Amino acid sequence: MPSPRPSLRHEKLCLAPVAGVDEAGRGPLAGPVVAAAVILPAKGVPRGIDDSKKLSHAERARLHDRLRDCAVIGIGVVEAPEIDVLNIYWATMKAMTLAVEALGCAPGHVLVDGNRLPKWGHSATAIVSGDAISLSIAAASIIAKHTRDTIMLAHAEAHPHYGWHSNKGYGAPEHLRALAEHGPTPLHRRSFAPVAAAFSKIESLVPHTIA
């Protein structure tokens, strides 16, 4: 029996306009964390919107373009150096805040995927597994995932050793092997354990000057 698709059940209980918010990129070793905020149109919502993890790359790309044409969208990006300063949790909260601010209008309510909310002044609800339940959050998951994937594909051209064309910065075997062989790039998150270990290895190979 197929699992039910996301619906507007939660949105209908909230003050309009309702923005769904989700992020992509909490777990990778390299690249930014990206959040998206999406206010769906009252009519003409594209068919097929679902949790981005359940969709193929082609389906995400198609729905991304359709949503760009009909929805109000905000994007928030926090790069690796700031992730290392804030830690990934607070970097994600900042990306979500930036995404809502980028909408260009004040939402009546915000639905956020997960169990925590950013520290902001918006009326908001956190929904665990919201991308599988709320249509607005599912739409945000598609925008966030496709946007981050596009960023990592561009970076893959400049850093071909790490397999970012396929792993998008996650700790896949190819990525870990390249990290050990070639060392980290400026796009790597130094605070993440495999990257920190690679930096330590490099530092151990640098001759120390004796005063």
The structural domains of the chain, with segments of one domain joined by +, span 11-160
pLDDT band at residue 210 using 50, 70 and 90 as cut-offs? very low
What pLDDT, on a 0 to 100 scale, did the predictor assign at position 199? 82
Instruction: Kindly give, in sequence order, each residue whose CB lies less than 8 Å from that of residue 88, ignoring residues fewer than 6 positions away.
Output: 26, 33, 189, 191
Using the predicted structure, report yes or no on whether residue 78 has a pLDDT greater than 60: yes
- Predicted confidence band at 207 (pLDDT cuts at 50, 70, 90)? low
Q: Is 101 annotated as a binding residue?
A: no
- CATH fold, domain 11-160, is Nucleotidyltransferase; domain 5 (3.30.420)
Q: Which long-range contacts (CB under 8 A, 24 or more apart) does 149-154 make?
A: 149/24, 149/57, 149/60, 151/31, 151/32, 151/34, 151/77, 152/30, 152/31
So what's the pLDDT on residue 211?
46
50 is in an annotated binding site: no
Give the residue-averaged pLDDT of 21-44.
Answer: 98
Q: Is residue 204's pLDDT more than 90?
A: no
- Could you read off the pLDDT of 83-115 as tens digits, one per residue? 999 999 999 999 999 999 999 999 999 999 999
